[in-house]
Structure 1
Amino acid sequence: MLVEILPLRQVPRALDQLTYRVPKELLDTISVGQIVKVPFRKSFISGLVLSLHSTDTIHLQNIKDVDSIICALPLLNQEYVLKLQEVAKMYSTSAGDLVKKCLPPLQVRKLKSLKSFHLPQYKTQKGKKKIQYHYYSTQQEHANFLKKASKGKTLIIIPETFYKNTLLSIFQNQKNIPIIFDSSDTTKQLYENWFALHSNESNIIIGLRNAVFLPLYLFDTIIVDYEHEQNHKHWDQKPRFHVKDVLDILSPTLKANIHYASFCPSVSSYHSLYNDIFSFEKKLSKTTLLFSKQKSFPCIIDMKDEKRGKNFSFFSEYVQNLIFETEENLFFYLNRKGFARSVGCSHCDNIESCAKCHLPLTYFKDEKVLRCNYCQYTESFSSTCKKCKSSLVELQGVGIEMVESELKRALPDIKKNIIRIDSNTSEIPSFSDSRNIVVGTARALGVIDFKKFDKIIILDLDRQMLIPEYMATENMWSTLCFFEFFSQSMSKIIIQTHNTQHFLLKSLQEKDRFYRTELLLRKETLYPPYIALSRYFYGGRSPELAYQEAKRVYDTLKRTLTETRKSVTIIGPIEMQPRYFRNQYWYCIIAKMTKEAWENDLPWLNAHFPPSWKVDPNPISLLSP
């Protein structure tokens, strides 16, 4: 007898399903759904039994035997395993790796001793349910929605760990304390939580994006909270899945009601609301808006006027008055590490750049070094130009260290209460009872209580919107909405800008205007949600080798598409930014597909890229490796 095994680990695509022989001693006990131990290369691995079939002994040459049964009780519905295999094809990853995420930790001793386990039925649904959308503008509305929507066994998926405490406070008076699924938990805790999940109690489960690979057929309700957040996307390693995409594939076969919720709808969600793809309390139209007109909105300061008034500081006159003339708590937002963004020569216009990435080096005054924020290349700072030996070297652009330094110089009496928070900050310092001033990057957003700050000053909005990514403006919009929501009108938001006519700023009082303008731009340039995107990128030891491989794959695929798949358009090869990252040089190919055919086109495309390429469907960045 032969058995088909799904290796429960990341393996090459060609080895995603392996055939083994069943030894005589296991013929009466082996069955579909069991977890078994099998030889793989020079070691042993765990695998899931997919199917059994008899065959003639002539065909059994060079086939290895199953070693032993680890868990005799099926822990996962086989129909659901088949759906996960479909998901694996979408992300060009091994199905066994996804199935492993659905199982408890593979502790051999505990699984072998398992005597009983009730495997719930997998009741497939006919047709696809509409996703229900919920918009909340206050924290009380958020709490009310979660309590009302959490019916039966509920899974709430959040994008960041810091949202966990918010949800726990909402459900603190529940009869059953919510179960937290966190990959940082101990193996023992993960094992206990997995079996608690299968109890008959109507538990609330809170988890990060990997929770989308729990056995979803167990749940009556699935909520994707803060749905606009980019960290619902697993962007930094394989498989590069998005929670909403996985649910979109699995939802037709699930009994659960699926809810998306946010205080700041993503652009794609707004498009779905407008086109009646999502279920919502009202139908949006040209005259029916999602948002009510804002009674209060940020103060916008034109920095061009400041310069015309001979104020060349990076603080406007109004902000300087807040610093010097008031005792208010202030938060300065600048998403830029270091003291200065670059160092240049005013004599020969040379910019000190990374030899590998070709990007400007950031000056860190505390360490007196120039460093690349991507590959971490570091060199000592010199006040003399390396190219022309001129002493006319100047610092260009404002970094978070410069803002901190200027504030401490101007306010020596409260120097200890001026705090910098960036990605290098390991421990968040406690705030004093007197005046506090915080200078922070995006790292600060989840770690401080914005209701304690009188003013939130955004120093560098323009540069963030100039990033050459189609989602750059949306990302800045969600940051503004974050400040507005979590300050709960307790803080006044101040924006310094050189472009007061930008449509994002014009939309602050009429929020629907932002979404409709952004959607119009994406429609004209063919970006999501009007098409589906996938990017494929390759890293080589030299820029020449990386480009040659990217060009070879592009040319081959272009010919194939012309002959067989005219619904897919590819662009490339494109040098990524930074071009040198993790000791390799990177090039990418971008594929555009119709929304109607992407579930068929994507697996086909994935199969035409060599295994050495990285696959990233629905990317949150086109150019960053």
Structure 2
Amino acid sequence: MRYYKIYIDGTNEFYTYCDEKDQYDIGDSVEVSFRNRIKGGIIISLDKTSEFSFKVLPIKKKLESQLSYKKEFIKLLLWIRDYYMCSFDQVFSAAIPAGLNIKYEKIYYLNENKKIYINENLKTYFLEKSRVRLITLKKYFSKERIKEAIEKKVLIENDKWYTYEEINKSNFKDFKEFFHKKKSIGENTLTNIFSQKEIEMALKNNELIEERRIKNFKEKENEIILEHGNLEFPEEKKLNEEQENVKNGIINSTKKHFLIKGITGSGKTEVYINLIRKGLEKGRGSIFLVPEISLTPQMVKRFQEEFGENIAILHSKMTSKERAQEWYELYTGNKKIVLGVRSAIFAPVKDLEYIIIDEEHENSYKQDSNPRYNAKYVAIKRGELEGAKIVLGSATPSIESYYYGKKGIFELYYMNHRYKNAKLPEMEVVDMKEENNSFFSEKLLKAIRETLLRKEQVILLLNRKGYSTLIQCGDCGYIEECEHCSIKMNYYSSGKILKCNYCGITKKFTGHCSSCGSTNLIHSGKGVERVEEELKKYFPVEIIRVDGDVSKEKNFYENMYKDFSSGKYKIMIGTQMIAKGLHFPNVTLVGVINGDTVLSIPDFRSGERTYQLITQVAGRAGRGDKEGKVIIQTYQPESYVIKKILEDDYEGFYNREIENREILFYPPFSKIINIGISSTKEDILEKISNEIAKEIKDENVEIHGPMKSLVYKVKDRYRYNIFIKGKRENINKYKFLLSEKLKKFKGKDYRVVVDIDPINLI
């Protein structure tokens, strides 16, 4: 008899139950008696306690209608719980999509060891069913493998169906196994042809074998049947020498962690696709992460061209049902590859070969609500548990990742040339202190005009939403502020509203000062709406704006990508979401309206983020056969960050940053924790914050604070921070102490949130 710790649905603790007949395993979904009620749970781990002070109840049964999880997956969730100091319930909710309801069906197949069959009609029916359509084959085999099987006459085409001919079988065991599995037939199909009595007799006579399998959410509809003559796969893009070296280096390396530092347009995506293809040819799966859903349409198109229906898509704009469907396809092994954003790191890909994280420097891989995990670190842990290789890629790697590459912790590869030897764009900085127009410099306006006359396209970046960042009364000086947050309200001209970008509250803009009623209002701080409005005064062309407010429609990104690619729009203006990954060959000019928006934020990563943002958006220019140009408008042209961007000198920028980080003891030389305390009552907040700071003191780590947050009030809650910094080994030990200490601080009047490896310190 074994004892197990079980996670009960809707709780934050594990409870011990016994396995009386040793018939269950870690990851199984089971039914138990819990507080006089029947509840579902998941077996988490063995309980090795020898004696119990309470009566241990037995597990009632396995829940056949629910998923079972791999041991490695359960270990990953436990690691996240411990590393990020959150509850298992929070981790589990983040990892498993809502709406995932699994049903089972009975499957029958012939017993091939049976010599004599009483029901010959049943046998004949099964043998005739061992044929498939091409579209089905393409889900399970690479295009090269299918072509080879057809050429060797292992696959025989007859009336648009393919059957397996058992010759050269030693080289085509994969096809033999596949077609053997295809001989299985579902209960509904079989009972339509044969009576229940005939089926029961065949089972009794051992002619049929019955098995229970997970039933599909839905059957594929409107399958396209391809004729043999139409067996066309996308032409494989030939890798250049640099790409080939990186691909082969990763495949042949005995190491597990890799960083590709490849300049924008160097063809990193083709390296990723080749790696995934090589894994698929071995029957192994891959996870490919992108930082923003704005990148997904382009990537989906490219991946579907390459892998057809073998690719699953996971991102936040999908419905719960759509996400559950894709998750299920991966769980059953129907699909082997997933393309998605942060949460796709939990996708149940079988036989995992690669986890590839594109634009690895992006902050969006870090979740800003519980569980506050970073998909990069989760990927590394998952790779360790499942034996997969982790590939990080970026033109501007995070300082931490590049440091690990330099130190040999990651195997570092460089891609220093653009694909097909396309030239990097020419870059120019404009000092806006010398310009009369605060929106557009003379050089930028001239460059836009010339680009449009050549019938080429323009991308403009301004990392600020809305029309203006604040409105001030010219008579009484009153500034419109959010009544729930200590922040100025942004004005959005498209909806004629004032909006707080922290709590999201809006109110109608009347055109009058809320204090004195004056109409003498001054708009300060320009957003993308205002820039769009000003731009239309100069250029009567189609302009598309891309920011978080206009992109809420489900298919916005797909339509945006299609329309801009087709030339419907001549200029794209947007926030940081247009800065990375997008590939538009006809874009030859990129303008950065204000290069200082991130640089002025009081954060030790502000220089790094500025370098990454501007370099990434600059990389959208000149990606095709035409040369590109980038104009950066700034009020700080003397900044070393701007100078290094202009010189395309990441190495020099990194050396300066890493020296500062070492002096100030910031990551990667330390690990950091941020404790956020909030309350609707300022006096209680101050008292509790001081008590916590006193309680958690430890000589092995640095503790700073408590201090007021930069944005002191959000959603009617006042906020304090306590900042903790220390060596990796000290922080890891300290977390256990911190977890115990914070258990004392649970009250209705305040909240305490722990953020491990925080990205946002505001």
Scaled by the length of structure 2, the TM-score of the pair is 0.67
Instruction: Return the alpha-carbon distance in structure 2 between the equivalents of residues 38 and 483 of structure 1.
Output: 55
Asked if structure 2 preserves the Cα contact closer than 8 Å seen for 1:2 and 1:55, the reply is no
Out of 221, 225, 230, the position equivalent to 2:363 is 230
Q: Identify if the C-alpha distance between structure 1 residues 73 and 116 changes in structure 2 by more than 3 Å, giving closer, same or farther.
A: farther
Residue 330 of structure 1 aligns to which amino acid in structure 2?
Answer: V
For 2:430, the equivalent position in structure 1 comes to 301
| CA deviations over 1:28-51 (Å, ceiling 9, x no partner) | 755554311235569654322233
| CA deviations over 1:413-455 (Å, ceiling 9, x no partner) | 44xx133322221335645857723321224447965433332
For 2:576, the equivalent position in structure 1 comes to 442
Q: Identify if the C-alpha distance between structure 1 residues 39 and 619 changes in structure 2 by more than 3 Å, giving closer, same or farther.
A: farther
For 1:375, the equivalent position in structure 2 comes to 503
Larger radius of gyration: 2
Asked if structure 1 preserves the Cα contact closer than 8 Å seen for 2:90 and 2:371, the reply is no
Residue 374 of structure 2 aligns to which amino acid in structure 1?
Answer: H
For 1:578, the equivalent position in structure 2 comes to 711
For 1:125, the equivalent position in structure 2 comes to none
| CA deviations over 1:468-502 (Å, ceiling 9, x no partner) | 22222222222223223333445421111111111
Instruction: Return the alpha-carbon distance in structure 1 between the equivalents of residues 350 and 700 of structure 2.
Output: 34
Out of 273, 280, 290, the position equivalent to 1:158 is 290
User: Shift of residue 196 of structure 1?
Assistant: 0.4
Out of 498, 501, 519, the position equivalent to 2:638 is 501
For 1:477, the equivalent position in structure 2 comes to 611
Asked if structure 1 preserves the Cα contact closer than 8 Å seen for 2:5 and 2:47, the reply is no
Moved more, 594-603 or 320-329: 320-329
For 2:377, the equivalent position in structure 1 comes to 245
Instruction: Return the alpha-carbon distance in structure 2 between the equivalents of residues 115 and 227 of structure 1.
Output: 41
User: Shift of residue 18 of structure 1?
Assistant: 0.9
SS of the equivalent of 2:596 reads helix
Q: Identify if the C-alpha distance between structure 1 residues 204 and 139 changes in structure 2 by more than 3 Å, giving closer, same or farther.
A: farther
Matches of residues 172-187 of structure 1 in structure 2 within 5 Å? 172=304, 174=306, 177-180=309-312, 182=314, 184=318, 185-187=322-324
Matches of residues 104-183 of structure 1 in structure 2 within 5 Å? 107=101, 109-110=103-104, 115=212, 129=255, 131-139=257-265, 141-150=267-276, 151-152=278-279, 153=284, 154-168=286-300, 171-172=303-304, 174=306, 177-180=309-312, 182=314
| CA deviations over 1:81-101 (Å, ceiling 9, x no partner) | 345423311112234654677
Residue 30 of structure 2 aligns to which amino acid in structure 1?
Answer: V
For 1:196, the equivalent position in structure 2 comes to 333
| CA deviations over 1:135-184 (Å, ceiling 9, x no partner) | 22254531442244334323333323344455455555657754325264
Matches of residues 282-321 of structure 1 in structure 2 within 5 Å? 296-306=425-435, 311-321=436-446
Residue 464 (structure 2) pairs with residue 332 (structure 1): no
Out of 11, 30, 37, the position equivalent to 1:36 is 30
User: Shift of residue 19 of structure 1?
Assistant: 2.4
Moved more, 69-78 or 220-229: 69-78
Residue 659 (structure 2) pairs with residue 520 (structure 1): yes
Moved more, 46-55 or 89-98: 46-55
Q: Identify if the C-alpha distance between structure 1 residues 444 and 21 changes in structure 2 by more than 3 Å, giving closer, same or farther.
A: same
Residue 401 of structure 2 aligns to which amino acid in structure 1?
Answer: S
Instruction: Return the alpha-carbon distance in structure 2 between the equivalents of residues 390 and 100 of structure 1.
Output: 50
Residue 537 (structure 2) pairs with residue 403 (structure 1): no
SS of the equivalent of 1:396 reads strand
Out of 597, 607, 617, the position equivalent to 2:740 is 607
For 1:553, the equivalent position in structure 2 comes to 692
Matches of residues 78-93 of structure 1 in structure 2 within 5 Å? 78=71, 81-82=74-75, 84-93=77-86
Residue 534 of structure 1 aligns to which amino acid in structure 2?
Answer: I
| CA deviations over 1:374-402 (Å, ceiling 9, x no partner) | 12344555666666777764222212222
Out of 377, 391, 409, the position equivalent to 1:277 is 409
Asked if structure 2 preserves the Cα contact closer than 8 Å seen for 1:209 and 1:243, the reply is yes
Residue 396 of structure 2 aligns to which amino acid in structure 1?
Answer: C
For 1:620, the equivalent position in structure 2 comes to 759
Q: Identify if the C-alpha distance between structure 1 residues 547 and 40 changes in structure 2 by more than 3 Å, giving closer, same or farther.
A: farther
SS of the equivalent of 1:264 reads coil
Residue 515 of structure 1 aligns to which amino acid in structure 2?
Answer: Y
Instruction: Return the alpha-carbon distance in structure 2 between the equivalents of residues 175 and 381 of structure 1.
Output: 50
Asked if structure 1 preserves the Cα contact closer than 8 Å seen for 2:31 and 2:63, the reply is yes
Instruction: Return the alpha-carbon distance in structure 2 between the equivalents of residues 192 and 217 of structure 1.
Output: 11
Matches of residues 323-472 of structure 1 in structure 2 within 5 Å? 327-328=452-453, 329-345=457-473, 349-379=477-507, 381=509, 393-411=521-539, 413-414=540-541, 417-425=542-550, 426=553, 427=556, 430-431=563-564, 433=567, 436-445=570-579, 449-472=583-606
Q: Identify if the C-alpha distance between structure 1 residues 479 and 2 changes in structure 2 by more than 3 Å, giving closer, same or farther.
A: same
Asked if structure 2 preserves the Cα contact closer than 8 Å seen for 1:155 and 1:206, the reply is yes
Q: Identify if the C-alpha distance between structure 1 residues 535 and 70 changes in structure 2 by more than 3 Å, giving closer, same or farther.
A: same
Residue 334 (structure 2) pairs with residue 221 (structure 1): no
User: Shift of residue 10 of structure 1?
Assistant: 6.2
Asked if structure 2 preserves the Cα contact closer than 8 Å seen for 1:81 and 1:99, the reply is no
Residue 407 of structure 2 aligns to which amino acid in structure 1?
Answer: N
Residue 505 of structure 1 aligns to which amino acid in structure 2?
Answer: I
| CA deviations over 1:579-623 (Å, ceiling 9, x no partner) | 333453322222112124333333432333246422211111112
SS of the equivalent of 1:59 reads coil
Instruction: Return the alpha-carbon distance in structure 2 between the equivalents of residues 72 and 89 of structure 1.
Output: 30
Scaled by the length of structure 1, the TM-score of the pair is 0.80
Moved more, 596-605 or 493-502: 596-605
Residue 46 of structure 2 aligns to which amino acid in structure 1?
Answer: S
Q: Identify if the C-alpha distance between structure 1 residues 546 and 275 changes in structure 2 by more than 3 Å, giving closer, same or farther.
A: same
| CA deviations over 1:183-218 (Å, ceiling 9, x no partner) | 643434422321207x9xxx4443433333356893
Out of 10, 14, 18, the position equivalent to 2:15 is 18
Instruction: Return the alpha-carbon distance in structure 2 between the equivalents of residues 418 and 74 of structure 1.
Output: 48
SS of the equivalent of 1:613 reads strand
Q: Which consecutive residues of structure 2, in runs of 5 or more, have no partner in the other structure?
A: 108-210, 215-253
User: Shift of residue 359 of structure 1?
Assistant: 1.6
Q: Identify if the C-alpha distance between structure 1 residues 383 and 594 changes in structure 2 by more than 3 Å, giving closer, same or farther.
A: same
Instruction: Return the alpha-carbon distance in structure 2 between the equivalents of residues 102 and 129 of structure 1.
Output: 27
For 2:46, the equivalent position in structure 1 comes to 51
Instruction: Return the alpha-carbon distance in structure 2 between the equivalents of residues 446 and 523 of structure 1.
Output: 29
Q: Identify if the C-alpha distance between structure 1 residues 356 and 547 changes in structure 2 by more than 3 Å, giving closer, same or farther.
A: farther
Asked if structure 2 preserves the Cα contact closer than 8 Å seen for 1:181 and 1:208, the reply is no
Residue 342 of structure 2 aligns to which amino acid in structure 1?
Answer: R
Q: Identify if the C-alpha distance between structure 1 residues 101 and 363 changes in structure 2 by more than 3 Å, giving closer, same or farther.
A: closer
Q: Identify if the C-alpha distance between structure 1 residues 110 and 400 changes in structure 2 by more than 3 Å, giving closer, same or farther.
A: same
Residue 574 of structure 2 aligns to which amino acid in structure 1?
Answer: G
User: Shift of residue 253 of structure 1?
Assistant: 4.5
Instruction: Return the alpha-carbon distance in structure 1 between the equivalents of residues 728 and 487 of structure 2.
Output: 36
| CA deviations over 1:301-347 (Å, ceiling 9, x no partner) | 111222xxxx2442112223345676353332112222221123456
User: Shift of residue 228 of structure 1?
Assistant: 1.3
Q: Which consecutive residues of structure 1, in runs of 5 or more, have no partner in the other structure?
A: 118-127, 283-288
Residue 726 (structure 2) pairs with residue 587 (structure 1): no
Tell me how many residue pairs correspond in the alignment: 580
User: Shift of residue 57 of structure 1?
Assistant: 9.7
User: Identity over the aligned pairs, expressed in percent?
Assistant: 24
Asked if structure 1 preserves the Cα contact closer than 8 Å seen for 2:486 and 2:714, the reply is no
For 2:177, the equivalent position in structure 1 comes to none
Residue 717 of structure 2 aligns to which amino acid in structure 1?
Answer: Q
User: Shift of residue 131 of structure 1?
Assistant: 1.8
- RMSD of equivalent CA atoms: 3.9
